[in-house]
Amino acid sequence: MTTTLAGGRAARRQTTRRIRPRRSPAALLLLAVWAGAAAVLWLWWHTTPAIADDTGRILGAGRITGLLAGYLMALVVLQVARVPALERRVGSDRVARWHAMTGRYTLSLVVAHVLLTMWGYARQAGRSPVGILAQTAESIDRLPDLGKAAVGTGLFLVIGLTSAGPVRRRLPYDAWYHLHLLTYAAVYLTFWHQISTGNDFAVEPAARTFWYGLYGTVTALVVWYRVLTPVRLNLRHRLRVAAVVEEAPGIVSVLIGGRRLHRMGAEAGQFFRWRFLAPGLRFSSHPYSLSAAPRPDTLRITVKANGDHSARLRELAPGTRVWAEGPYGALTARRRSRGKVLLVAGGVGITPMRALFETLPGAAGDLTLLYRAGTTRDLALWDELAAIAKERGARLMYAVNSPDGERPDISARTLRQKIPDLDRHDVFLCGPPGFARSVYEALRGAGVPARRIHHESFEM
């Protein structure tokens, strides 16, 4: 059984009004980040006296690594504040990669700061390098706020360890997610010693004001977008499960009802973070894409059972309260720059592609959808896709394994054979990471410029 949601023409009209192709602000944001780092370096240089010996050099290195670590801590939190300018224009997956990279740099700088500073203090006290541990214990006992900073540093180490690839892959998503929330506590605990023991802020009141302003702004953005905005959204729209329908083996659609849902600002291709207030699910929040264009009274997600959370969605009862955060993501019609579009979906990556297939404006022959699945039984939402293709004069293709298990050839050569003018298309791509990488390489080999291959990964 499949669900069918009507209203494609109205959704296309709404999408047409929203299409305003814009450049990503990523370059400007990176320029601002580097400008901030340059300002931190200038502050260190401005407040650092002449260095006469090795001890001074070690302590100077400890100070600059500490300042840069403090600056990056603010950026780490900013990158998870769900600021719409980042989430919807840069893209959630790209921001997540920035967050992971910034976190690694921050942890490295924090460790370097602690080791260099304690080494410098140990040299001043006449201790050998092996006396760093004793010097650390003495400094924690003697210096203001350093005890809190030590706890915060320990939390950073735990977060860094659990975010490392081999550990992350073995941890349940919910455990990793809740451990990651300790980042806020770690930043709070390490902030105060920067002000109370940092020489740079003691001798330069303007720098202290800037530091308070930086952290205060980031805190305000987190409170606004991670707390107040979701509360307002859910109080206003009153989301509840309307129905759960099996679409294919292991794949279900969850229809979610509510009030004035068309005013949520969601677009085809975007996703929400969903929390279902049912036993065993209420403490879990997971990202799932919309699998149909938003309707005034209905949203729909389609989910494959890949873990405990997704597998239990089939058990949801109608009327279950739903808590949503979003919409997020930049895989929308706003990225389109050409008249012709190819949509490529792998597995459950069909969900945002199905919504875009329905809503992207185009004349007959402008849209093509290629759907990769293991077998024809795994082609979720196929009846809907076929109906949309027939109504719109669009082209619908699938690629499944042969009866003996041989995988289909999705290469630059076969893509050019199927779509001779592929290099003049925009391409929207969604699927598992390995599939997405191979298709991306095939598209590049077929002559599609990288700037016209639009992809977001929701492996968060």
Above 80 in pLDDT, residue 25? no
- Report the share of the chain in percent with pLDDT over 70: 94
Angstrom distance (rounded) from CA 427 to CA 423:
10
Tens of pLDDT, residues 144-162: 999 999 999 999 999 999 9
Task: Report the C-alpha dihedral over residues 224, 226, 227, 232, rounded to 10 degrees.
Answer: 80
Say which residue the tokens 């109080």 belong to: 235
- Other beta carbons less than 10 A from residue 320's beta carbon: 20
Above 70 in pLDDT, residue 215? yes
Say which residue the tokens 């389109």 belong to: 336
> For domain 238-328, which CATH number applies: 2.40.30.10, 3.40.50.720, 1.10.510.10, 3.30.70.1140?
2.40.30.10
The pLDDT, as a whole number, for residue 8 is 52
The pLDDT, as a whole number, for residue 227 is 95
pLDDT band at 24 (very low <50, low <70, confident <90, very high): low
The pLDDT, as a whole number, for residue 16 is 44
Q: Does domain 333-455 have CATH number 3.40.50.80?
A: yes
pLDDT band at 258 (very low <50, low <70, confident <90, very high): very high
- Report the share of the chain in percent with pLDDT over 90: 64
Tell me the average pLDDT across 245-272.
92
pLDDT band at 39 (very low <50, low <70, confident <90, very high): very high
Question: Strand 395-399 and strand 367-372: pairing?
Answer: parallel
Tell me the DSSP string of 59-104: HHHHHHHHHHHHHHHHHHHHTTS--HIIIIIIIHHHHHHHHHHHHH
Q: Which regions of 238-355 does DSSP assign to beta strands (E)?
A: 240-248, 251-257, 271-276, 286-289, 298-304, 322-328, 340-346
In terms of pLDDT, which residue wins out, 169 or 288? 288
The structure tokens listed for 318 are: 């109608």
Above 70 in pLDDT, residue 11? no
In terms of pLDDT, which residue wins out, 20 or 221? 221
Give the lowest-confidence range in 157-161, 211-215, 228-232, 261-265. 261-265
The pLDDT, as a whole number, for residue 9 is 53
Pick from 335, 332, 377: nearest CA to 353:
332
CB 266 within 8 A of CB 289: no
The pLDDT, as a whole number, for residue 458 is 56
Peptide linkage before 327 cis (omega within 30 of 0)? yes
In terms of pLDDT, which residue wins out, 299 or 18? 299
Above 90 in pLDDT, residue 61? yes
In terms of pLDDT, which residue wins out, 214 or 6? 214
Instruction: Report the chain's mean pLDDT, rounded to a whole number.
Output: 89
In residues, how long is the chain? 460
Angstrom distance (rounded) from CA 57 to CA 119:
11
pLDDT band at 164 (very low <50, low <70, confident <90, very high): confident
Say which residue the tokens 């990556």 belong to: 349
Tens of pLDDT, residues 292-310: 988 999 999 999 988 778 8
Name which CATH class applies to 26-232.
mainly alpha
Specify the pTM.
0.83
Give the lowest-confidence range in 16-20, 101-105, 167-171, 377-381. 16-20
The pLDDT, as a whole number, for residue 459 is 54
Tens of pLDDT, residues 450-460: 999 998 765 54
pLDDT band at 321 (very low <50, low <70, confident <90, very high): very high
Pick from 369, 367, 335: nearest CA to 353:
369
Residue ranges of domains in the chain: 26-232, 238-328, 333-455
Task: Report the C-alpha dihedral over residues 317, 319, 325, 326, rounded to 10 degrees.
Answer: 100
